[in-house]
Chain A
Amino acid sequence: MNMVFKFSKSLKFDWLIIPYSAVFLFFFIVPVTLVVIVSFWDYTEYSIIPDFIFLNYIEIFEDCFNLEKDLCVTLKTYWSTLVYCFLTWIFTILIGFTIAYFLAFHVSSLSLQIVLFLICTIPFWTSNVIRMISWIPLLGRNGLINQILISSGLVSEPQEWLMYSGFSVVLAFVHLYTLFMIVPIFNSMIKIDKSLIEAASDSGANRWQTLWQVIIPLSKPGIVIGSIFVITIVMGDFITIGIMGGQQIASVGKIINVQMNYLQFPAAAANAVILIFTTLLIIWGMTKMIDIRKEL
């Protein structure tokens, strides 16, 4: 609202917001509104019926308030999705920050930066499904790692937790999404005035102190933007969790996917609304920590 107001004060920029607003309206506001509306509709096997009922939401939280039973499906699913989200987030920050730091401060030649960056995109050179199926020969029961472990005498039985487990899910996520962390952090880092770093070392700061007190605070916007990318992608993912988790690990995305396949659009819409709400809550929390708009 604030931004719109600011723009309208200087007439010169008025028309510039139109294309963006149109894209935002047609590809975000309208679809999300439709999802919210449909989430209150009724449905049968073959049709959806305009209505205003809360049944779709009630069914999601059914059993959740019954404390004698185990945790209900919805909470369990959200819990496991959040755990994977958190682990992926931590690892992508650690790895992404390190790589971005290296690219920004240790590589000075432009062509080498581009070459190294292209190497970072290798995980995206094949299709998602093929990429994930390719993990089997590496991590599987008869895979390369197990063969090495057994032949070196470290273990006597094949290690089954390497594949179709929480481990393999997080591994695949980190492999895929670290790039989304690298780019915004790199962006923040190259904006850092080199004289600040010189000033830090002139004032007697060692490398760690420079890192903690100069580079990390100034890279925060990049870290937050990267985190938003990673968190929103992981929260909605169902293909990676499905394939790498052997489809034995529930995810919110998978529940929505199954309901869509069975034409239960209103139920899927209700789940999607809750998912959007949860994700927005996380992002809201992050933007509370740092004001991205100001930092950009």
Chain B
Amino acid sequence: MILAYVLLFIRLVLKNRKGISMKKSIEDVSKKKNVKKVSRRKFVKLTAAAAGVAAGSNLITGFPAVHASGQITLRYLSTAVNQHPGIAKKARDVLGINVQYIPVTTDEVTKRIITQPNSFDIVDSEYFSLKKLMPTGNLVGIDAKRIKEMNNIVTAFTKGEVNGKKIGDQGTAPKKVLYLKGANSTEFSSTPTDHVTLIPTVYNADTLGIRPDLIKRPINSWTELLNPEFKGKASILNIPSIGIMDAAMVVEAMGEYKYPDKGNMTKKEIDLTMKILTEAKKAGQFRAFWSDFNESVNLMASGEVVIQSMWAPAITAVKSKGIPCVYQPLKEGYRAWAAGFGLPSTLKGKKLDAAYEFINWFLSGWAGAYLNRQGYYSAVLPTAKKYMEAYEWAYWMEGKPATQDIKSPSGALLAKTGETRDGGSYNDRMGAVKCWNAVMDENKYMVRSWNKFIAA
């Protein structure tokens, strides 16, 4: 559009010139025509050059779409946060499968599966979307017998347990939606079957992120998010279905109300939650809301916000700028999320085999270790352990102090010797999960209430 504007302008100016030259005396006409021609030719040259540049850049971006013959390409749909170039590169080296990432936002993943089910070959989707996804029949049950590590998938998914103890299952806990009644069934099975909706890739326990250097006192409860002490310095995420869960954690921590299921509120419960949030907003509690991962990083790194709902990789991003940031464990527990691989029901033949091959490789350890080193958790822990150094495993999974500097897969320093992971070990963090990201039965009403809250 802007290019069109520039061209329009140049055309106008040239026209203007022409107008002026016409007014000049008649004997000059032939000479003037020459001038006009030159400037026109120049203009054409310029535009041709611009068009050339545009065409060139198209060629460059289009290039990766050209593949070596015979190599299978898997179009991998997910959010950008789950798409690690390192994993795609390794998959190409080991399996010869070309993984082509399609990065979109969380909501867009869901939208794509429902509206364009042929635009991808494998999807990494969040479990909470499944309630919307499965009734469409666009995803097929994954054959558990073809997944080598099926029996080693962490119990948080299969049984809702961590270290033998039950964890919170409010909201869309993976165990509620992990199995289907049949390969092409659209109904969830409460007991294990051989037809799996999603094979887990990553999951984590989310909590509040804080700037310890600006808060200067211990934080240990969700209530602090609405504490007037942080007036104008707090933030919450503007993704309604997740934001309302964080709000519910705060409301419950304040002792205002105890939800039977935070992930499936009644209209009254939604009203109550939004009323408390609206009052806080009107009192100026929030500096800003965020809906994009990078926005949360900027808010925190710039000091605009000192306490907010946050995702683990965002904490890492703030820390890697040398700014102190803590993923603060809170006494009320965590809100968890999980994502996994799903396959479109139209996938067939070689591509289907390649997808299974890729999933099996993903669970076989190298990718798991890669994810664990980023602060996520992987689905099969014993295989990932084989690919991690003992000191890394001790820091990330056992909550022990680092005996050497801890680095991310890209080599950035994440923790110095002697530091421990925020929230401690896997068992401490995942064991304290209280609820899971969810889609409520009253989702329509919730979205409208959230829009009201933003307008308030």
Q: Is the CB of A137 within 8 A of B302?
A: yes
- Cα distance A77–B448 when bound, in Å? 13
Interface of A: prevailing SS:
helix
Interface residues of A in 230-281 (CB under 8 A from B): 242-243, 246-250, 254-255, 258-264, 267
List, in ascending order, chain A residues with CB within 8 A of B241's CB.
262
- Most B CB atoms within 10 A — which of A118, A137, A243? A243
Q: Is the CB of B447 within 8 A of A136?
A: no
Could you give, for residues 117-161 of chain A, a 1 whenever the CB lies within 8 Å of some chain B CB and a 0 otherwise?
A: 110010010000100010011001111000000000000000010
Interface size class of B (residues with CB under 8 A): 35 or more
Q: Is B286 an interface residue (CB 8 A)?
A: yes
With contact pairs A136-B304, A140-B304, A262-B107 given, residues A46 and B114 touching in the complex (Cβ less than 8 Å)? yes
Q: B153-194: which residues lie under 8 A (CB-CB) from chain A?
A: none
CB < 8 Å neighbour of B135 from A46, A113, A129: A46
Name the one of B8, B107, B111, B443 contacting A183, with C-beta atoms under 8 angstroms: B8
In the complex, what's the smallest C-beta–C-beta distance from A280 to chain B, in angstroms?
A: 21
Give the interface centre of A46, A47, A264, A267 by most chain B CB atoms within 10 Å: A46
Judge whether B225 is part of the interface by a CB distance below 8 angstroms.
Answer: no
B160 CB → nearest A CB, Å: 24
Question: A76 to B453, alpha carbons, bound, how many Å?
Answer: 12
- How distant is A203 from chain B, measured CB to nearest CB, in Å? 21
Across the interface, which residues of A come within 8 angstroms of B444, CB to CB?
264, 267
Report chain B residues within 8 Å CB of A113.
Answer: 13
Per the bound structure, the CA–CA distance linking A49 and B454 in Å amounts to 29
Residues of A152-196 at the interface with B, using a CB-CB cut-off of 8 Å, are 160, 163-164, 179-180, 183, 186-187, 190
Is B92 an interface residue, CB under 8 A from the partner?
no
As a 0/1 sequence over residues 232 to 262 of chain B, the CB contacts with chain A under 8 angstroms (1 = contact) are 1000001011000000000000000000000
Residues of A near B397 (CB, < 8 A) are none
> Known contacts A113-B13, A118-B6: does B304 contact A262 (CB below 8 Å)?
no
Q: Which residue of A has the minimal Cβ distance to B19? A: A190
A202 CB-CB contact with B under 8 Å? no
B291 A242 Cβ-Cβ under 8 A: yes
- Expressed in whole angstroms, the Cα–Cα distance for A157 and B288 within the complex equals 19
A267–B448 CA distance with the chains assembled, in angstroms = 10
> Does B287 sit at the interface, judged by CB under 8 A?
yes
Distance to closest chain A CB from B180 (angstroms): 16
In the complex, chain B residues whose CB is within 8 Å of the CB of A259: 447
Q: Residues of A contacting B455 with CB < 8 Å?
A: 73, 76-77, 80, 250
Interface size on A, residues (CB 8 A): 49
A45 and B439 contact, CB distance less than 8 A = yes
Given A46-B133, A118-B6, A264-B444, the answer on whether A250 and B454 have CB atoms closer than 8 Å is: yes
A interface residues (Cβ-Cβ under 8 A, vs B): 45-47, 59, 73, 76-77, 80, 110, 113-114, 117-118, 121, 124, 129, 133, 136-137, 140-143, 160, 163-164, 179-180, 183, 186-187, 190, 242-243, 246-250, 254-255, 258-264, 267
Interface residues of B (CB under 8 A from A): 2, 5-6, 8-10, 12-17, 39, 105, 107-108, 110-111, 114, 131-133, 135-136, 232, 238, 240-241, 281, 286-292, 294-295, 298, 302-304, 439, 443-444, 447-448, 450-452, 454-455
Question: What are 27 sample pairs from A and B whose C-beta atoms fall under 8 A apart?
Answer: A46-B114, A46-B132, A47-B114, A73-B451, A76-B455, A110-B14, A110-B17, A110-B39, A121-B2, A121-B5, A137-B302, A140-B302, A141-B302, A164-B287, A183-B8, A243-B295, A246-B286, A247-B238, A247-B288, A247-B290, A248-B281, A248-B289, A250-B451, A250-B455, A258-B451, A260-B111, A263-B111
